[in-house]
Chains A and B, each alone.
With several copies, the nearest count.
Chain A
Amino acid sequence: MSLKEKLPPLSQLGPFIALAVACVVFGVTTDNFFTAANFALILQQVMVVGVIAIGQTLIILTAGIDLSCGMVMALGSIIMTKFAADFGLPPSLAILCGIAVTTLFGLVNGLLVTRIKLPPFIVTLGTFNIAFAITQLYSSAQTVTNVPESMLWLGNTFSVGESQIAYGVVLMVALYLAAWYWLRDTASGRHVYAVGNNPEATRLVGIPTDRVLLSVYVLAGLFYGIASLLTVARTGVGDPNGGQTENLDAITAVVLGGTSLFGGRGVILGTLAGAIVVGVLRNGLTLMGVSSVYQVLITGILVILAVAVDQLSRKGAR
């Protein structure tokens, strides 16, 4: 196998090209962008959406979509903080409870999709609303403070040179690598691609497609639970208003990362690049002192450009 064959096909390099271009532009136009400390910061800023986007990628690979991800994450963070702060549960147990609830939501999504064959869009729109309402009702719409210090550990940082790396960022990267390994190197991971690529063929070959789908939704719920913990660690509180925009952010990261919304095609590391692209844009534009409305405008243009560069470079390569 030649070196050329070992490299990922160009289609998977797209998000990385966009990332590099953005970095160069911001590096030239601002003073503080190209510092290790700033990159460490950006990673911290994307870690919550980054972990949610792992779950979202899995679901999109099966040709589904999950609108509930952010709200489920918010519910999980309320559960774990309230259980710890109000009922005095030991943090580890409280965390487990929170993750259990998000996983349960994943299970419910998965059962509705596989058993009753409902479209994932509608199912997760429904559970989005349900998770939101439960979050509001259970928290009385109050932010949960008094979160025990030990639950915040993932938000702490350690020094590498002059930059501060959060433990949560390390966890995020580890999760990406694990998901990558799973999708690439195990049978069950390959079946996720197969189900998304041609569900009927996958079924005829004798793979239990429903079980694959269900496990993907459950696993996504698990990732949302870990994101709950990360958001608690990052903010220090349980925030009942969180999670409202994370679904669009996560889907954007997935699509920017080159995964097809029609399922079966994509690489999960692209999602990480996609999430970072969004973080870099926001950070760089703020550093440039662009005012907030113009930030929205420029983000709109840059998102389109990022994918266009990718597409055009691929065309050129043909």
Chain B
Amino acid sequence: MSKLVMQAKGLVKRYGQVTALDGVDFELRAGEILAVIGDNGAGKSSLIKALSGATVPDGGEILLDGKRVQFRNPMDARREGIECCYQDLAVAPAMTIAENLFLGRELRRPGFAGTVLRQLDKKKMLETAIERMADLKVGIRSMTQAVETLSGGQRQCVAVARAAAFARHVVILDEPTAALGVKEGNMVLELIRRVRDKGLPVILISHNMPHVFEIADRIHVARLGKRAAVLNPKKISMSDTVAVMTGALDPAKLPAECLA
């Protein structure tokens, strides 16, 4: 079994009277695609927000490569090479697509202009942006148009492309294909595979079961703020998975080979 890249034990997160995470455990192995599924409100987004430093959990611990880490903000996680594409699309609507792609990871021009005048290399960023978006086969006319003028799916592609482009350690994607068309959705799956093939593990939250079964190595089922089970998509059927997810089927009753 390959080594654990990321691990969480007994994470707790409360919002006022709502307990979003109720002692959830989590394991991500090297080089795998881990799908996280669950009903609406099961605590999937809350989980990955804790893993990426977007919120600070109230309890529990997170280990990265076996070492305990404490992320106080997204910057801490980013420094460790963890990139995340959030469900409520963290984009700056008034800024251009290229700017959004490189937000916080801007390229500077080489030589004097870059090191002393700290001038941005807008041309290079533009070219790279065009390339990255072409990877996803999104037909966007101009990379210098503001994100607020994009269609819902186009906007999502921007956020996904950003996370995939800059990760050095872990990629986290929260429902990246939700607003995407058939073609664009397949492109994102393709992109995820490419990232995995580079050796980076990917956490993929999705409600799209065909997608999950097409691509995931293991499936983490979130339920009522806890982890209900970790399933092996090669051994379990889609309908059983949904049954576990909705609570209709007790995972303890599953044959051991279905678990992963």
Contacts and interface: CB of A to CB of B under 8 A. Distances in A.
Interface of A: 1, 5, 181, 185-188, 190-191, 193-194, 197-198, 200-208, 264-265
Which 4 A-B pairs give the minimum distances between C-beta atoms?
A: A206-B78, A201-B90, A187-B106, A204-B90
7 contacts: A187-B118, A198-B91, A198-B93, A201-B90, A203-B54, A205-B162, A206-B78
Interface in B65-92: 73-75, 77-78, 84, 86, 89-92
Interface string B44-70: 000000000010000000000000000
A203 B94 contact: no
Contact of A186 (B74, B119, B162): B119
A167 to B, nearest CB: 24
B93 A197 contact: yes
B74 A204 contact: yes
B108 interface: yes
Interface string B137-165: 00000101000000000000000001000
Contacts of B86: 204
Contacts of A187: 106, 108, 118, 120
A265 to B, nearest CB: 5
Contacts of A264: 92, 94
A193 B75 contact: no
Interface residues of B, number: 28
A200 B89 CA distance: 10
Given A204-B74, A205-B90, A206-B77, A193 B108 contact: no
A27 to B, nearest CB: 35
Contact of B94 (A188, A191, A197, A208): A197
B118 A186 contact: yes
B104 interface: yes
A197 B90 contact: no
Contacts of B256: none
B92 A201 contact: yes
A186 B93 contact: no
Nearest to B118: A186
Interface in B105-125: 106, 108, 117-120, 122
B32 interface: no
A203 B56 CA distance: 14
Given A193-B92, A206-B77, 12 more contacts: A185-B122, A187-B106, A190-B99, A191-B104, A193-B95, A197-B92, A197-B94, A198-B93, A201-B90, A205-B103, A206-B74, A207-B103
